[in-house]
Structure 1
C-alpha cells in the first residue's frame, strides 16, 4: 500500500510508534464518554416523550443535544490531553511526553481552564450529533416499519429480530454519520487548533474567521477523509451494539 506524504513524513521523522501517540487517553476516554452519552440520551428521550410527540424529530434533536452537552462537559480534559500528545512532534529516538507529564504541563502553564480549551468548538459539534441522530432515527423508524409489515404479511412474531435487522442498523448509522460529519466537520479542525499548545487561536469564532482567511476555506475540511475512515465503522459498530443491548435488556 502506498503511503500518502503526511504519514510517510511522520514515519521517517518520528518512527512507527508516533502513529499511536495519544492512544492511552483515547482508550481511557471512550468508555466513560459513550456511557455518559447513551445514558443521557436514553434518559432525555424517555422524559421528552412525555412532553413532545413520542419519538418525534423534536425529541431526537433535544435528546441528542443534551446528551452531547453532558458528555462533552465531563470528558473534555481527556480529549485535550489526547490532542496534545498527538501534536507533540519529536524526532526519532527522542523521549516522548507521556499523559501524566502532559497533565502536569497543562496545569502549570494554563491552570484548570487549560483543560477545557476547545470546549466551545465541541459544543458547536453538538450540531453533528443532532443531525446524526435525527437521520439515524428516521432511517431506523422506516426499517422497523418495514420489518413490522413484512412480519404481518408472513405471520411472524415482529418482536424477534435476526442478524439482518442489526446489519440494517449498522447501515443506518453509517449513512447518518457520513452525512452529519460531512456537514459539521469544520468544528473538528477548529477544536484541534484551539487545543494546540501555544497557538494563536483564542476562541471559536476567531479561529473560524482566521483559518479561511489565512489558508482558504478548504482548510476547514482538512483531514475529513481520514476522519470518515475512522468514524464510519466505529459509529456503525457502536450503534448496532447499543441497539442489540437495548433489545436484549427489554426481552
Structure 2
C-alpha cells in the first residue's frame, strides 16, 4: 500500500511540472525560425535525396544554383513547397520537446530551478523527450519531405491534407512512419544538442557565480545555441540523409540497411553528408532563432 502511495505521489509530482509556458514558447521558436528559413530546408532535402542515379530529379551545382533554379522554374511557391507541414511539424516538435524536456528536468530537480544536473542526466532526459516527440510528429515530417520533393513537372499532392490522405490510402498507417528507425537514431542529435547547450549555460553561470536559472543576454543565448547545434550536426548528420531517402515517394530501397549499403557503394562516405552545407546554413541560424525566442518567451510567461 505504501509503495502504491509513493508511486502516485511521484506521478502527481511529474504532472505538476507540465507547464504550458514551455509548450507555447517552444512552438513560438519553431514556427518563427521555420517561416524565415524554409527555402533552405527545401534545398537541403533535394540535395540529400539526389543519389545521382535518377535522371528525373533536377541536378544542382550548389546552393545558389539550386535557389535560382527553383525560383526560376517554380517561383516563390517552389521555395516554400511543404511549408505548411514544416510549420506544423517544427512548431509541434519544438513545443513538445521543450515541454517534455523541461518537465522531466524540473521533476528530477524537485521543482528547484537552481539545482544543477549532470551532463549524462541532460543527455538521458533529452533522449526520452526526443523519442516521445518523434512518435507524435513523424507523420508530419513524412508529408513535409514529400511536398518538398514535388517538382514543377511532377506534382501528386495538392496540399498537406491531400498528402496525408493519399499516403494513408496507398500505404496505410505504416506510410506515416517511414524513416522512423533512422529518426530514432536521430534522437541522439537533439540529445547531444541539448546536453551541450545546458552544459555551456551551466559552466558560464558557474564561472560568473550566477544562479543556473539566470536570464542571459541575447548574444550569450545565440552563441550557446550555435555551438551546440554545430557539434550535434557534425556527429549525427548521416541519419538525416538516410531518413530523407526512405521517406521520399519514389523510394526504391527495401529498408534501412539496404539504403545505407547502396549509399556507401554508389557514393562512398560523402553520400552520407550530401546537403550538409545547406543544412548548416539553415539549422544554425534556425536553432539560434528558436532558442532565443524560446528563452525570452518562456521567461516572460513564467514570470
- Shorter-chain TM-score category? 0.7 to 0.9
Q: Aligned match of 1:179 in 231, 241, 252?
A: 231
Q: Aligned match of 1:64 in 102, 126, 129?
A: 126
Structure 2, unpaired ranges of 5+: 1-61
- Cα contact 2:101–2:126 (8 A) shared by 1: yes
TM-aligned CA deviation for residue 198 of structure 1: 2.8
Give distance in 1, aligned partners of 2:263 and 2:301: 47
TM-aligned CA deviation for residue 247 of structure 1: 3.6
Q: TM-score, normalised by structure 1?
A: 0.85
| Residue 23 (structure 2) aligns with | none
2:300 is the alignment partner of 1:215: no
| Residue 185 (structure 2) aligns with | 124
Q: In structure 1, the residue corresponding to 2:101 is in which secondary structure?
A: helix
Q: Aligned match of 1:38 in 75, 98, 107?
A: 98
> CA, structure 1 residues 239+111, in 2 after alignment: closer, same or farther (shift >3 Å)?
same
Q: Figure out how many residues of one structure are paired with residues of the other and give that number.
A: 238
- Cα contact 2:221–2:288 (8 A) shared by 1: yes
- Cα contact 1:49–1:59 (8 A) shared by 2: no
For residues 191-210 of structure 1, give each alpha carbon's deviation from its aligned partner in whole angstroms, at most 9, with x where no partner exists: 10010113112332322222
Give distance in 2, aligned partners of 1:248 and 1:11: 39
2:96 is the alignment partner of 1:26: no
- Cα contact 2:157–2:163 (8 A) shared by 1: no
TM-aligned CA deviation for residue 139 of structure 1: 0.8
- Cα contact 1:22–1:83 (8 A) shared by 2: yes
Q: In structure 2, the residue corresponding to 1:216 is in which secondary structure?
A: helix
| Residue 147 (structure 2) aligns with | 85
Q: Aligned match of 1:47 in 89, 104, 107?
A: 107
| Residue 162 (structure 2) aligns with | 101
For residues 102-130 of structure 1, give each alpha carbon's deviation from its aligned partner in whole angstroms, at most 9, with x where no partner exists: 12221111111101101111111111111
Give distance in 1, aligned partners of 2:83 and 2:100: 26
Higher relative contact order (CA 8 A, sep 6+): 2
Q: Alignment RMSD, CA only?
A: 2.6
Give distance in 2, aligned partners of 1:159 and 1:131: 20
- Cα contact 2:63–2:278 (8 A) shared by 1: no
2:70 is the alignment partner of 1:10: yes
Note the 1:142-181 alignment, pairs <5 A: 142-148=203-209, 161=215, 165-181=217-233
| Residue 229 (structure 1) aligns with | 281
> CA, structure 1 residues 159+42, in 2 after alignment: closer, same or farther (shift >3 Å)?
closer
Q: In structure 1, the residue corresponding to 2:151 is in which secondary structure?
A: coil
Q: TM-score, normalised by structure 2?
A: 0.71
Give distance in 2, aligned partners of 1:160 and 1:26: 32
